[in-house]
Amino acid sequence: MEIRDFGDTGLRVPVIGLGTSGTFDVGDDRQDMVDEVVALHFEAGTRVVDTSPMYGRAERTVARAIDSRRGETILATKIWTDSVEEGQAQFEAQLRFYGGRVDIEQVHNLVQTDGHLEWMLREKDSGRIGVIGATHYRAAAFRELEDVMRSGRIECIQVPYNPAEREVEDRILPLAEELGLGVLAMRPFADGSLMRNPPDEGELRALGLTSWSDALLKWCLSDPRIHVAIPATSKQENARSNAAAGDGPWLDDEVRRRVTELAGH
Ligand SMILES: NC(=O)c1ccc[n+]([C@@H]2O[C@H](COP(=O)([O-])OP(=O)(O)OC[C@H]3O[C@@H](n4cnc5c(N)ncnc54)[C@H](OP(=O)(O)O)[C@@H]3O)[C@@H](O)[C@H]2O)c1
């Protein structure tokens, strides 16, 4: 799997990571599913796992699944609350889950950004946070995200990127590149909506692509300003195919344009 510099953070990241929204919010009876999906990703070379207190039980199920592999995991999570005190309590819980350190700590959806960044910067100085970032899933918030990017307080961003959601191309990705920020691409399948009507396999093969998930992940990662894409899945076969998409050759402009058309955009 290809490995890229995560902006100027000093981290190097395999280009396929693993999202956990919805899929890993499960009870003890489904911990096996989480363990298997995580194991398949790690076997293929994945290291970044992205979660959040917003995702219910996912932070806990991830902690169990990566247990003996914590040292090789680049653990990304988020702080998601209006309250600074509650945010610090979320962080303390994460330290217990993840062996006393969070590798990538993000302000989720720009909620209480200033209040959280103040204490997160202190935690970075103390070594309990590796890299600080901010996320948002809606283009309407990108002006605000730009201001936070320019503030010098964050080193990475997490934004949506797929053929149906390309707004980051206008200003966010150029700015991230200019500032040397790491970029995680969320929603590479538009939360699964792009997977509902996959195109004919023969057409994909003619383009040198092995499957529709391969096409969409390669579409995303063919932009070198994206450092890691984080698809989420609850299925072993999907985990296998997603993790296998992390090697070039990447798509040229013509194939990328065709994949965009096949996605209906
Ligand atoms: N504001 C934020 O910070 C924010 C917002 C959104 C997302 N995120 C992060 O980004 C991650 C990814 O985004 P997402 O979960 O919204 O959407 P996504 O990764 O675009 O899509 C996930 C959906 O696609 C399906 N899927 C995955 N692989 C597949 C395959 N090979 N073939 C067919 N279907 C497949 C999954 O269903 P199966 O389980 O059936 O495979 C799941 O329903 C999240 O999990 C989260 O970590 C962050």
Please spell the DSSP secondary structure of 58-83, one letter per residue.
HHHHHHHHHGGGGGG-EEEEEE--S-
* Average pLDDT over all residues of the chain: 97
pLDDT, position 148: 98
Residue with CA at minimum distance from ligand 1 atom 11: 19
Q: How far is the CA of 9 from the centre of ligand 1 (A)?
A: 25
Residue with CA at minimum distance from ligand 1 atom 23: 192
Q: How far apart are the C-alpha atoms of 47 and 42, rounded to whole Å?
A: 6
For residue 19, the 8-state DSSP code is B
Q: Name the token pair of 10.
A: 């000093």
Helix (H, G, I), strand (E, B) or coil at 130: strand
Q: What angle do CA 28, 31, 35 make, to 5 degrees?
A: 160
Residues 59-104: tens digit of each pLDDT: 999 999 999 999 999 999 999 999 999 999 999 999 999 999 999 9
Q: Residue 230: which of 30, 10, 35, 24 has the closest Cα?
A: 24
CB distance 61 to ligand 1 below 6 Å: no
Residue with CA at minimum distance from ligand 1 atom 25: 192
Residues 222-246: tens digit of each pLDDT: 999 999 999 999 999 999 999 999 9
pLDDT, position 50: 98
**CB contact at 8 A, 61 and 97:** no
The structure's pTM equals: 0.98
Q: How far is the CA of 139 from the centre of ligand 1 (A)?
A: 18
pLDDT, position 66: 97
**CB contact at 8 A, 78 and 52:** yes
Cis peptide before 224 (omega within 30 of 0): no
Q: In the block, which residue shows the tokens 């985990």?
A: 239
Which atom belonging to ligand 1 lies closest to the Cα atom of 137?
A: 1
Q: How far is the CA of 253 from the centre of ligand 1 (A)?
A: 25
Residue with CA at minimum distance from ligand 1 atom 10: 186
Q: How far apart are the C-alpha atoms of 210 and 226, rounded to whole Å?
A: 21
Rg (CA), the chain: 18
Which atom belonging to ligand 1 lies closest to the Cα atom of 23?
A: 39
Q: Best mutation site among 159, 162, 187, 217 for ligand 1, i.e. most ligand atoms within 8 A of its Cβ?
A: 187
Residue with CA at minimum distance from ligand 1 atom 5: 137
- Count the Cβ atoms, other than its own, within 10 Å of residue 48: 25
Residues 134-145: tens digit of each pLDDT: 999 999 999 999
Q: How far is CA 116 from CA 36, 171, 212, in A?
A: 34, 25, 39
CB distance 77 to ligand 1 below 6 Å: no
Residues 171-225: tens digit of each pLDDT: 999 999 999 999 999 999 999 999 999 999 999 999 999 999 999 999 999 999 9
